[in-house]
Amino acid sequence: MATVSRSDQTAKLLQIVLIITVALLFVLAVLCYFVFASRSDAMAQLDDAKQQLSTAQQERTQQQTAATELKRILGFPENKPIDEITTETNEAFGSDYGDFQADAGNYTALAARLLDELRRKDDDLLKAKTDLQAAEKGRQDAEQARNDAKTAADRDLQAREQQFASNEADFNQRRAAFEQQQQQLRQAQQAAQDESTAFKDVMETLAQGEKLLSSQYRERYREAASAGPTAQVRLLYDQLNDQTGEITKKNRLVAALGAASQDVQDYLLRSLPQADRVDRYDGRIVSIDEVNNTVEIAVPATAGLRPGLVFRVFSGGDLTPLWSAGKGTVEVVSSRAGRVVARIRDEAMRNPIIVGDGLATPLWSPGMPMDVVIVGLVQFDDDKQDDSDDLKAVVERLGGRVSSDVEASTTLLVDAGRPVSRGGDDSREPIFRPQDEKRRNEQIDQARRLGIRTVGLDVFLDWLGMDRQTMQSGQAVDIPGRRLSREDASASVAP
Q: How confident is the model at residue 494 (pLDDT cuts 50, 70, 90)?
A: very low
Q: Is residue 181 part of a domain?
A: no
273, pLDDT greater than 70: no
pTM above 0.75, yes or no: no
Q: What is the distance between the alpha carbons of residues 270 and 245, in angstroms, rounded to a whole number?
A: 19
Q: Which of 141-145, 250-254, 267-271, 298-302 has the lowest mean pLDDT?
A: 267-271
Task: Output 207 or 26, whichever has higher pLDDT.
Answer: 26
**Same domain membership, residue 451 and residue 469:** yes
pLDDT at 442: 92
pLDDT score of 272 more than 50: no
Q: How confident is the model at residue 389 (pLDDT cuts 50, 70, 90)?
A: confident
Buried b / exposed e along 441-471 (16+ C-beta atoms within 10 A): eebbebbbeeebebbbbbbbbbbbbbeeebb
Instruction: Name the band, by pLDDT with cuts 50, 70 and 90, for residue 258.
Output: very low
Claim to verify: residue 316 and residue 394 sit in the same structural domain = yes
DSSP string, 271-313: HS-S-SB--S-SEEEEEEETTTTEEEEE-S--TT--TT-EEEE
Three-state SS for 337? Answer: coil
Same domain, 244 and 283: no
| Distance separating alpha carbons of residues 268 and 253, to the nearest angstrom | 10
Per 3-state DSSP, the chain is made up of helix, strand and coil in percentages (nearest 5) of 60, 10, 30
Domain identity same for 19 and 38: yes
Predicted confidence (pLDDT) per residue in 451-470, tens digit: 888 888 888 888 877 778 77
296 pLDDT band, cuts 50/70/90, is: very high
At 480 the pLDDT is 46
Tell me how far CA of residue 428 lies from CA of 431, 437, 438, in angstroms. Answer: 9, 17, 21
Among 74-88, 137-151, 477-491, which range has the highest average pLDDT?
137-151
Between 217-226, 259-268, 348-357, 393-402, the lowest mean confidence (pLDDT) is in 259-268
For residue 344, the SS3 value is strand
* Domain endpoint, select from 59, 80, 105: 105
Q: Are residues 248 and 296 in the same domain?
A: no
| Range of 58-72, 107-121, 141-155, 455-469 with top mean pLDDT | 141-155
pLDDT digits (tens, 9 = 90+) for 401-432: 899 899 878 888 999 888 765 544 454 556 67
Residue 81 pLDDT: 80
Residue 398 near residue 480 (C-beta atoms within 8 A) = no
Which is higher by pLDDT, 344 or 268? 344
pLDDT at 445 over 80: yes
328: closest CA among 354, 309, 305, 304? 354
In this predicted structure, the answer to whether residue 270 has a pLDDT above a threshold of 50 is no
How much is the mean pLDDT over the chain? 76
Final residue of a structural domain among 259, 288, 308: 259
Residues 248 and 304 in one domain: no
The answer to whether residue 198 scores a pLDDT higher than 80 is: no
Contact indicator for 270, 466 with CB cutoff of 8 Å: no
Assess whether 231 and 330 both reside in one domain: no
Domain that holds residue 255: 218-259
Pair 416, 487 in one domain: yes
Q: Give domain status of residue 197, yes or no.
A: no
Task: Specify whether 327 is located in the same domain as 461.
Answer: yes
Contact call for residues 432 and 419 (beta carbons, < 8 A):
yes
With 80 as the cut, is the pLDDT of residue 159 above it? yes
First to last CA, the chain: 113
317-332-455 Cα angle (round to 5): 75
pLDDT tens readout for residues 8-17: 788 888 888 8
> Could you tell me whether strands 371-375 and 412-415 are parallel, antiparallel, or unpaired per DSSP bridges?
parallel
pLDDT at 482 over 50: no
271 and 415 share one domain: yes
356 and 378 share one domain: yes
Domain count, the chain: 3
- Within 8 A by CB and 6+ apart from 404, the residues are 373
Q: Is the pLDDT of residue 97 over 50?
A: yes
Asked if 226 contacts 235 with a C-beta cutoff of 8 angstroms, the reply is no
In terms of average pLDDT, the best of 35-39, 124-128, 140-144, 222-226 is: 140-144
Same domain, 42 and 71: yes
Asked if the structure places residue 99 within a domain, the reply is yes
Is 140 inside a domain boundary?
A: no
Residues 297-336 have pLDDT tens digits of: 988 887 777 788 889 999 988 878 887 788 999 998 888 7
The residue among 465, 455, 459, 480 whose CA lies nearest residue 329 is 465
Q: CATH number of the domain that 287 lies in?
A: 2.40.30.230
Of 105, 129, 150, the one marking the end of a domain is 105
Alpha helices in 75-106 (DSSP H): 82-95
